[in-house]
Amino acid sequence: MEIRFVLNGRNTLVETSPDRKVTDLLREDLGLTGVKEGCGAGECGACTILVDGESRLSCLMLAAQIEGRHVTTIEGLAQGEDLHPVQEAFVEHGAVQCGFCTPGMVLSAVHLIENLSGPTREEIREGLSGNLCRCTGYTMIVDAVEAAAAKMRGEGSS
């Protein structure tokens, strides 16, 4: 079937099977390999995308469900060469090690900050609790999200 949706700000038309997993559609058919598949069961968050601005698991969505929706992947977050403040903060705070969880972690953080402009460290941990990281121990990720939220509120420098 033909599916029309807005992908990273661009009108997109794909021909695919309606029951294709959205992770596979994005990675394999559309080349957006920033979307990762970890567990395939909703427990790791590596496949996180934003659908109409809300964080969702692309491994538990089928292609037919994104018809008419706005989908954002990690590839659509930067404005040209300018990284999103959350991406910038991840770089500055060393919040990345192997990088496999990073796209999902960043997108969950973007969704969190959009709903809660001044999250506490506890709220950040809670907000990212569906995204697993096996390298960093999370401390630097929480530091990065805290700094990004402050920057997006127009406070402090980094």
Partner 1 sequence: MREVHLPRSLEELWPLLDRRPRAALYAGGTDLLVRMGRGMENPAALVCLERIEELKGVNEHGDHIHIGSCTTHSRLLAHPLVQRHLPVLAQAVKTLGSPLIRNMGTIGGNLCTASPAGDTLPPLYVLEAEVELRSGGRVRRMPVREFIRGPGVTCIEEGEILTGIRVKKPARDLLHHFEKVGRRNALACAVVSLAALIGFSPDGVVRRAALAWGSVGPTVVRCPEAEEALLGQRLSADTLQRAAALVREAVSPISDLRADEHYRRRVSGNLLLRLAERPRPGSSGIPPGCCSSK
- Of 68 and 94, the one with the shorter C-beta distance to partner 1 is 68
- Write each residue from 116 to 155 as x if it is in contact with partner 1 (CB under 8 A), else as -, in one continuous string: ----------xxxxxx------------------------
**CA–CA gap between residue 26 and residue 6 (Å, rounded):** 12
* 54 lines the binding site for partner 1 (CB under 8 A): yes
Nearer to partner 1 (CB atom), residue 48 or residue 136: 48
- The binding track of 7-46 with respect to partner 1, each residue x by CB under 8 A or -, is ----------xxx--------------------xxxx-x-
Least Cα distance to 151 among 94, 88, 77, 80 occurs for: 88
In whole angstroms, how close is the CB of 114 to partner 1 at the nearest point? 12
Instruction: For residue 70, give the nearest of 52, 90, 96 by alpha carbon.
Output: 52
Strands (E), 28-139: 48-51, 54-57, 70-72
Distance, CA of 99 to CA of 146 (rounded, Å): 19
User: Checking DSSP bridges between strand 2-7 and strand 70-72, what pairing results, if any?
Assistant: parallel
H/E stretch holding 115:
helix 102-115
The binder of partner 1 chosen from 87, 102, 108, 136 (CB under 8 A)? 108
Q: Can you give the binding site for partner 1, defined by CB under 8 A?
A: 17-19, 40-43, 45, 48, 54-57, 59-65, 67, 108, 111-112, 126-131
